[in-house]
Amino acid sequence: MKKEEIIESLKNKIANEILNIPQKQIEKDEPIISSGLIDSFSLVDLALLVEDTYGVRIEDTELNSDVFDNLDQLAGIIISRIK
């Protein structure tokens, strides 16, 4: 799977399923955790979404902006763990 495809799909899923703002355009380098866009109550949703979609587990200790803070970085983690 290509990184760009993953980013595109994450964009849509996050806007629709987590933020509930379908019209929201998330840039691939836009901070999503440190900006508060995904608040602490939704971090676990993000982990569940990634696992359901790609079969990749994000540990709870990884749910902070030091590990990833934008879609590009998150897609990077997903690619490195697929398979």
Partner 1 sequence: MKENFSKQLLSQIEKNPNRQILHVLVNGEYVHLTYSELLLGAKKYQFALDQAGILSTDVVILILMHGLDLIYAYFGTILNGSIPSIMPYLTEKLFPDKYKQDLRALIDITKPKAVITYKEFIQEIGFIENFKPSIKAVVLTEDVSQLTVSEEEVGRMPGVTQDPEHIALLQHSSGTTGLQKGVALSHRAIFNQLESYQNALALKDNDVIVSWLPLYHDMGLIAGFMMPLLSSIPLVLLSPFDWVRAPYKMMRAINDFKGTLCWLPNFAYNFCAKKIRDRDLAGIDLSSLRAVINCSEPMRFDSHEMFYNRFKEYGFKSEAFATSYAMAENVFAVTQGGIDQPVTYDEIDLASFQEKNIAVPPEGNRRSIKMVSAGKPIPNVNIKIVDKNGTSLPDRNIGEIIISSNCMLTEYYKRKDATEEVFINGWFKTGDLGYIAEEELYISGRKKDLIIVGGKNIYPKDIETIAMEVKGVHPGRVVAFGIYNNLKGTEDVVVIAEIEEELLGEKEKIADLIRKRVTIKSAVALRNVLTVNKKWLIKTSSGKIARALNKVKYLQEVQG
Site residues (CB under 8 A) for partner 1? 20, 23-24, 33-37, 39-45, 48, 60-61, 63-65
Contacts of 7 (CB under 8 A, 6+ apart): 28, 71, 72, 75
Closest CB to partner 1 among residues 3, 37:
37
What is the DSSP track for 21-45? -TT----TTS-SSTTSSS-GGGHHH
Closest CB to partner 1 among residues 63, 77:
63
Residue corresponding to tokens 């971090």 = 43
d(CA 38, CA 42): 6
Provide the minimum distance between the beta carbon of 22 and partner 1 in the complex, in angstroms, as a whole number: 12
Provide the minimum distance between the beta carbon of 39 and partner 1 in the complex, in angstroms, as a whole number: 4
Closest CB to partner 1 among residues 1, 65:
65
Provide the minimum distance between the beta carbon of 3 and partner 1 in the complex, in angstroms, as a whole number: 25
